[in-house]
Amino acid sequence: DTGYRPAARSATVWEPGDGAADADTLLPGAIAPVGSPAVAGPAGASLVRSSGVMAVGTLASRLSGLLRTLVQSAALGAVTLSEAYNNANTLPNVVYNLVLGGILTSVIVPLLVNAAKRDRARSEAYDQRMFTLITFSLLAITVVATLAAAPIVYLYKGAISGPTLHVMIIFAYFCIPQIFFYGVSSLAGAILNSRGSFAAPMWTPVVNNVVVIAVLGLFMAIAGLHVSPSTITSGQIELLGLGTTLGIVAQTAALLPSLRRVGFRWRPRFDFRRAEVAEIWRMASWMFCYIVGTQVAFLVTTRVANTAGVRAAAAHISYGAGITPYTYGWQLFQMPYAVVGISVITALLPRMSAHAAERRLSLLRDDFSTGVRLSSVIVVPAAYVLAVLGPALGVILLAHGATSLTSGRYMGEVFALFCLGLLPYMFFQLQLRVFYSLHDSRTPALIGALTMVVNVLANLIALAVVPPGQIVAFLGVGFGLANLAGAALAWRMLSQRLGGLDGWFICRSLVRMHAAAIPAVIFAVVVAVAVGGSHGFLPAIASVIVGGGGAAAIYVLCCRLFRVAEITDLLRTVTGRFRR
């Protein structure tokens, strides 16, 4: 027994909007639950199965993305040409996230779910109007952003100049049209998720990655491994730019059959309802404020990273120390988070939205608790073991072709420092989804202001006091601190809204998971030091295989010893799949 009892509240009628959390948590005649259901209960088991299906697709997508990063590193290196390409290829995501990205992923799914619950007969028309409104908005935004490609590049370039800047601008004209296809792909995924179909959005990025890998391979065959912004030809720029954009086009097209299978066939409808648009605006306006905050932080981060790269080159540092190690470190960091965190969050979001719409906030609290504990059982050991083995992984994955051993090791160090913030990042992302399921986008925007300030201050301090060759590595520390601050504030505010967050159960589980992880991390450190893990390709492989494999086995055994119930659910699911 946690001692928790819900406070008495008068029943209020639930209406979509920011007041949803103040509604009565119980249905008529229901009895308030005491404590929290075990993860092994029906909801937990269902979540494990649902997120397990998505985790397989996510794993395939991330592995293909990892291969793409490996090939890209080999083809473009870690210095000037890679800086130009990575900066330009990041811009579509920046613009897309700024105007629609977070709205599509975190606002539209709850609206689609609630529309279906309110009136299933009319939900199809609602989906059609939503698809029409957002698609034509995306088209207009893409045209404007493409015309403004050069000013956008100048906003993010930092200290980059000369041929690198020139090539970056040309790449941007090819890459920015990706905005439209990112948006349509995300919208299609939102519709599929709202209709209970999760697999396709997790698998289709594989198509994107395969196309880009083929393009990068063709580029290496044509141009070789020693191309710079001063020597690259216009045809080679066109190959990289158009080929990269072709990848997201193929990913979007691959979702269309799944939409047809769930019964969605788009027919443009322009009979927009004022109430529907107002509901989107009510949620999206605050979401937009939150996204602006995150993008301001990313703008500062990008300018700091680009300036760090220029300073490192001026100091004759032998490895790339600009936006490229930051980009690759971030992509590697997304691998463990995506396989566990995104899969669980995606499975939870429709369920949380449904529980909020049904005024069952006690179940919403249970969803959060279950999601946190199921994610943490993997995230906790992964964060610390990957932080130890990060430099070795950088050597194994990235030190090939045009990328030197020292550049690969440095990118692994950036990844390692990112990993230290994996747990607060996962917490914060799940907390945000709870707010969105309650139709509350105001609170995340206010919390986002805090995270932006922490992130920006940390990055500017790093630029001012850290040596040029280590600035980008410390950007990962700033990222972790910002998410820790955001998660702490979000916990307090969510706890007030939901009458508690199963804090005792979550803390007890986290303490046991950390206790089980300590021997595993010590083993990984001993192995990495003994074999000199990041000082050569073979030692790196040895440290990852022996250190990582041994750490995983030790962690599982210690989880059994410390009675970590969540590991049992995951192992039962995995072994059950193999038996079938």
* End-to-end C-alpha distance for the chain, whole angstroms: 37
**Is the Cβ–Cβ distance between 514 and 381 less than 8 Å?**
no
Dist CA 410 CA 390 (whole Å): 9
**Is the Cβ–Cβ distance between 504 and 1 less than 8 Å?**
no
DSSP 298: H
Return the pLDDT at 360: 78
Q: Which two tokens stand for residue 291?
A: 């996204």
Dist CA 255 CA 244 (whole Å): 18
Nearest to 165 by CA among 177, 179, 155: 155
Return the pLDDT at 370: 83
Q: Which two tokens stand for residue 165?
A: 């800047």
Dist CA 384 CA 390 (whole Å): 10
Nearest to 553 by CA among 385, 370, 333: 385
Report CA-CA distances (Å) from 419 to 68, 77, 391, 475: 21, 23, 12, 12
Rounded to the nearest 10 degrees, the angle between the axes of helix 323-337 and helix 422-437 is 70
Q: Which two tokens stand for residue 200?
A: 């396709």
Beta-carbon contacts of residue 492 (< 8 Å; ≥ 6 apart)? none
Dist CA 209 CA 186 (whole Å): 16
For 350-402, write each residue's pLDDT tens digit: 777 777 777 777 888 888 888 888 888 889 999 999 999 999 999 999 999 99
Query: Rounded mean pLDDT of 402-411?
Result: 93
343: confidence class by pLDDT, cuts 50, 70, 90:
low
19: confidence class by pLDDT, cuts 50, 70, 90:
very low
Q: Which two tokens stand for residue 126?
A: 């609602």
Q: What is the dihedral of CA 480, 309, 178, 447, to 10 degrees?
A: 30
Return the pLDDT at 7: 34
**Is the Cβ–Cβ distance between 88 and 152 less than 8 Å?**
no
Q: Which two tokens stand for residue 217?
A: 């391979």
Dist CA 325 CA 468 (whole Å): 13
**Is the Cβ–Cβ distance between 447 and 286 less than 8 Å?**
no
Question: Which range has highest mean pLDDT (330-344, 407-421, 566-580)?
Answer: 407-421
CA Rg value for the chain: 24
CB atoms within 10 A of CB 514: 16
Q: Which two tokens stand for residue 361?
A: 């906030």
Dist CA 393 CA 541 (whole Å): 8
More confident position, 516 or 27: 516
Nearest to 293 by CA among 145, 154, 455, 89: 455
Q: Which two tokens stand for residue 385?
A: 């073991």
- HSE at residue 361, side-chain half, CA atoms within 13 A, is 26
Q: Which two tokens stand for residue 211?
A: 């196309």
Give Cα 91 to chain centroid, integer Å. 17
Is pLDDT at 62 greater than 90 in this prediction? no
Dist CA 564 CA 378 (whole Å): 12
The residue written with tokens 């880009």 in the block is 212
For 99-147, write each residue's pLDDT tens digit: 666 666 566 666 776 666 666 656 677 778 878 888 898 899 999 999 9
For 211-258, write each residue's pLDDT tens digit: 999 999 999 999 998 899 999 999 999 999 999 999 999 999 999 998
Return the pLDDT at 89: 94
